[in-house]
Amino acid sequence: MENILELKNITKRFPGVVANDNISLDIKAGEIHALVGENGSGKSTLMNILYGLYNADEGEIYLRGEKTRITEPKQAIDHGIGMVFQHFMLVEPLTVFENVILGSEPQKRGFIDFKGAEREVARLSKEYGLKVETKSRVEDISVGQQQRLEILKALYRKAEILILDEPTAVLTPQETDELFQVMRNLKEQGTTIIFISHKIREVMEISDRVSVLRRGKLVGTKNTSATSRPELAEMMVGREVLLEVEKEKAQPGEKIFSVSDLEVRDQRGTKRVKGVSLEIHSGEILGIAGVEGNGQQEMVEAITGLLRTEKGKIYLDGKELQNLGAMQVKKKRIGYIPEDRHKRGLILDFNVADNMILGFHTEPPFVQRFFIRNEKAIKENAEKLVEEYDVRPPNIQQQVSTFSGGNQQKIIAAREFSRKPRFLICSQPTRGLDIGSIEFIHSQIIDQRDKGAGILLVSAELDEILSLSDRIAVMYEGRIVGEMPIEEADEKKLGSLMLGGEAGEDKGGDEVEAGTK
């Protein structure tokens, strides 16, 4: 196969960092080429250069053998390059086909040719197997459909090279399967696809070749069939990585935590948790699987005292816990890694030391007589935790906003784990982290389990649920719709439960998704 696209010696510098360092990359016509790397490795920068959003400081782009200058997205589109961003660029109140034609409306005597446009969109949708209801408003369709719409938009503009930027990040397992089917259809019809991802499993499944970036440099390009997951992981991280979480079988002890018939409304007054009952023993991890927005967050916030419990009981060691308030819950040795570390978990403008006492700042030794802070104790606490949890850079005076996501999460973990929690809630504990940090956080969670803590793990990542949990419960529309020991769980079974189906029953994605909205 000939090369449809060649990037030669691309270099892009931002103040203080070389985002792309002399990258050369060939893309063959009609292949699915995966571009993988950790956060900040430069894959998005490289694609943004190709799409004309950034201009490279050095280097050349050859399209179909000809040297091409792309300085703005319009030129990229004219050259048959389409890009689907992680965050969709859609006008929500408009219909699907209006969104497709937006910016390149077909005209007929000075008016927009809506009829013709609709026919064209429907034709494309059928040809490539992109199921989208063309007359629906964007705000009413599922995320999976919105993504297909974005792909349609690119195809409508005659894209021959399609860049998909982390397309699976927002999808359920079923939707991911459907996307892969679409990608295979597109490939059959001759479209070249560049697939950006940091999920190695997906790359192995769908791509023909894979290029790995690390710290702005191209580590190498491999034929997917000739490489392996461990090899790719090592190329990404630069050292050997444990892909599977190493853990012993759980040794559950006595029941320490339970909720019964929990009902919670969110801040707008909508009932989001509709009668959940759970039990957690010491030394075990209960994983809550589910598509985000099915009440997991509200359940967790009710347990941690941030949201009011409307009905039902929460027990820790037999004592009721509901509606005690966040401070009292903390004092009961309940650790909590919140879903959104910037909004909930950290005060980004505070330094490390002050963040390390958040929630414990009212307790000795951090505060002494007359509510005066004990600066020495605060400093010693931070220094100890920074070393123990390998926070980098190890500067406790530095503002937390300047740390990487992985190190920010380490700060939270250090704070929450340091008080020897009896019960621990980890909500999306590795969201947005790179492989190295994920490995670290996972081993810390297992460590807490082995020390006897009961752990409630909430994650949208099925891989994470499956590799950490000892038992798994699936949450759907505010209810627990299934629970099983890890030995009986598999991706298919969980995926179907997550979409409201029965375990084992395979349901198509679309109709059910509408229900989750």
Partner 1 sequence: MKLEQSSLTSREIITPIISVILALLVGAVFILIVGENPIEAYWVLFSNSLIGVSSIAATLQRATPLIFTGLAVAFAFRCGLFNIGAEGQLYVGAMAAVIVGVSLSGIPKVIHLPMAIIAGMLAGGLWASIPGLLKAKLGVHEVINTIMMNFIAYFLTDYLVTGPFHGGRWTPETARVFPTAELSRLFPPTRLNTGIFIAIAAIILVYFILWRTRFGYEIRAVGFNPTAAEYGGISVSRNMVMAMVFSGALASLAGVEQILGVHGRFIQRFSPDLGFMGIAVALLGKNHPVGVFFAAVLFGALRTGAAAMDRLTDVPRELVVIIQALIIMFVAAEELTRRLIQRRRRA
Residues that bind partner 1 (CB under 8 A): 304-306, 325-330, 336, 338, 343-351, 354, 358-359, 361-362, 367, 370-373, 375, 395, 397-399, 401-402
Residue 135: partners with Cβ closer than 8 Å, 6 or more residues away: 95, 96, 97, 118
- Per DSSP, what are the bridge partners of residue 265? 271
Q: Which residues are within 8 A (CB) of 215 and not within 5 positions of it... i.e. 6 or more apart?
A: 21, 40, 41, 42
Nearer to partner 1, 178 or 416 (CB): 416
Q: Which is nearer to partner 1, 107 or 362 (CB)?
A: 362
Nearest distance in Å: CB 355, partner 1: 9
Return the number of the residue (237 or 358) whose C-beta is nearest partner 1: 358
Residue closer to partner 1 (CB basis): 170 or 326: 326
Instruction: Name the phi and psi angles at 402, rounded to 5.
Output: -90, 0
In the bound complex, what is the minimum distance in angstroms from residue 283's beta carbon to partner 1?
Answer: 26
Q: How far is the CB of 381 from partner 1 (least distance, A)?
A: 14
- Minimum CB separation of residue 486 from partner 1 in Å reads 30
| Close Cβ partners of 126 (under 8 Å, ≥ 6 residues apart) | none
Cβ nearer to partner 1, comparing 327 with 514: 327
Give min distance, CB of 510 to partner 1, in A: 34
Per DSSP, which regions of 431-497 are E strands?
454-458, 471-476, 479-485
User: Quick one: 75 or 399, whose CB is closer to partner 1?
Assistant: 399
Min dist. Cβ of residue 78 to partner 1 (A): 36
Answer whether 215's CB lies under 8 Å from 41's CB.
yes
- The DSSP 8-state label assigned to residue 225 in this structure reads G
CB atoms within 10 A of CB 40: 17
**Least distance CB 314 / partner 1 (angstroms):** 17
Q: Which is nearer to partner 1, 16 or 110 (CB)?
A: 16
- DSSP states of 253-309 as a string? -SEEEEEEEEEEE-TTS-EEEEEEEEEEETT-EEEEE--TTSSHHHHHHHHTTSS-E
Buried b (16+ CB within 10 A) or exposed e, 94-123: ebbbbbbbeeeeeeeeeeeeeeebbebbee
